[in-house]
Chains A and B, each alone.
Chain A
Amino acid sequence: MKKILLSVLTMGSLMSVQGALVQYSVTLDGLSESPVNASPGFGSGTVNYDNVTHSLQIQVSFSGLTGTTTASHIHAGTAAPFAGTAGVATTTPYFAGFPIGVSSGSYSTTLDLTLASSWNGAYITANGGTTSGAETALGTAMADGKAYWNIHSTTFGGGEIRGFLVPVPEPSTIALAGLGTLGIAGSAWNRRRINKS
């Protein structure tokens, strides 16, 4: 039984490491800004990173900004996870076609990470001078909780709402977590049964 469980765990780990698509969710608000602000604005979105096709599929919806949008991009990587600020990683001043001059809106696109135009030039330079270096750095920052999506507005030049990218557990990870929980519960039940007898 132990051998079977170990095999399942090992297989799950390998699937997790080799998976091409890494999914992140993002919740943007003023409380997550640095410095914190009292904006009632809110946004949510997803970022799907494919390390085989070298693409970043991004999507966001936002509303309730006190100002109107002036810029938006993903920053990486902060010194510590889920805190602080970092330089701009993606296209400046904003993603192509991002809605500017609005207090609510939605946006989605897929960035080709092999193109220099998908990046802030300085971010490429800071990471070996190649788009692949920039991609590796951003991929690591996202995985480590050190990348955030910021939306700047006319009332908050440094950003009205932002949110760190949070990994979305893969179905295999959820299944493994469930399996682990079941295993712990089963072990506890078995110990209790032995103690009673």
Chain B
Amino acid sequence: MYLVRTCVCWWIFSIILALRAAEALAHEEVVILVGRSAAGEIKLDLDFAQPIELPASVFPGISGHATGEVALHSTILDDATNDFFQLSNAADFRFILVAKDSGVEVWNDTGSGYMGIGETFYVGAFPFDTHPVWNIVNGTQGNVYWLTLKLRDLNGVYPDSAPFALSFTPSPPPPKVSITQVDPQHATLSWTTNAANWNLQSAISLTTNWESVTNIPATAGADFSLTITLDRPQQFFRLHRE
């Protein structure tokens, strides 16, 4: 009996760990790809959905919503079809903040404060990969905030790029999974039906691959509900955004 109780407690403990892991947002690649045209002009490929959702900041000293995931990469491909080629390594790039909405900021390249209009941010020579911190300091859910930037080559190999705009919006808080033990052999997981594009996944440990749970959940009011059998030493669950 003692053994059974210990097993159930350990199982529930594992589930609780998993629920915390479930709060992490899935991250998607958002890259501002920089190249040049055959005519020698700086070109940008902003092949991602806008506005970019910024999650709640996890950076100490940076409030609101923030991310360092939106990067500037120099292209490592020559794409003649799209007139998009690799940059010269003789160039030395900076980006310049041209304009911004109130409430949105980009931190400077030393992390000491927000960039001012006209200020430059170090990007460097080709090939480069830099991750500025984009920050909605005082944002309202559902609002969109714009930053306008341009790229400059200090060595004069290329003229300034055309200004380009990035838009950001505060990410809604991620949905949470809750768990209720039904009996020693069963527990029920539940999460909101408003969590569009979020799928339940499970894993036998936090270092193995996550797999989608294919069991179809029942709908109970505003929640999805799925009863699981406690038949493993431990199991982890999370909601993963598609």
Does A pair with B?
Answer: yes
| Residues of chain A whose beta carbon lies under 8 Å from any beta carbon of chain B | 34-35, 66-71, 75, 85-88, 92-94, 97, 100-101, 109, 120-123, 125-126, 150, 152-159
Write the residues of chain B forming the contact surface with A, with a CB cutoff of 8 angstroms.
Answer: 27, 29-31, 33, 57-60, 62, 67-69, 71, 73-77, 107, 109-112, 121-125, 127-133, 206-207
Check if B111 sits within 8 Å of A155, measured CB to CB.
Answer: yes
A71 and B71 within 8 A (CB): yes
Determine how close the nearest CB of chain B comes to the CB of A181; give it in whole angstroms: 41
Query: What are 7 A-B contacts with C-beta separation under 8 Å?
Result: A70-B67, A86-B127, A120-B29, A121-B29, A154-B107, A156-B111, A158-B131
Q: Which residue, A35, A68, A157, has most C-beta atoms of chain B within 10 A?
A: A157
Whether the Cβ atoms of A157 and B58 lie closer than 8 Å is no
* Main SS at interface, chain B: loop
Chain B: CB-nearest residue to A97: B206
Bound form: Cα–Cα A154–B108 in Å: 9
Known: A70-B131, A70-B133, A154-B68. A88 touches B110 (CB 8 A): no
Min C-beta distance of B228 to chain A, whole Å: 23
Q: Which of B60, B67, B68, B127 has the most CB of A within 10 A?
A: B68
Give min CB distance, B30 to chain A, whole Å: 8
Query: Are the C-beta atoms of A157 and B62 separated by less than 8 Å?
Result: no
Which of A66, A86, A93 is within 8 Å of B131, CB to CB?
A93
Q: Is the CB of A157 within 8 A of B76?
A: no
- Interface contact B58-A100, CB-CB below 8 Å: yes
Report whether B124 and A158 are in contact in the complex, using a CB–CB cutoff of 8 Å.
yes
**Additional pairs, 11, CB under 8 Å, beyond known A94-B27, A125-B77:** A35-B124, A71-B68, A85-B129, A87-B74, A100-B68, A120-B29, A154-B62, A157-B131, A158-B123, A158-B124, A158-B131
Say how far A123's CB is from chain B's closest CB, in angstroms.
Answer: 7
Q: Smallest CB–CB gap between A155 and chain B, Å?
A: 4
Q: Which residues of the partner chain A approach B77 to less than 8 Å between Cβ atoms? A: 122, 125-126
Q: For A109, what are the chain B residues with a Cβ–Cβ distance below 8 Å?
A: 207
Are A126 and B76 closer than 8 Å at their CB atoms? yes
Are B68 and A92 in contact (CB-based, < 8 A)? Answer: no
Smallest beta-carbon distance A77→chain B, Å: 10
B129/A88 in contact, CB under 8 A: yes
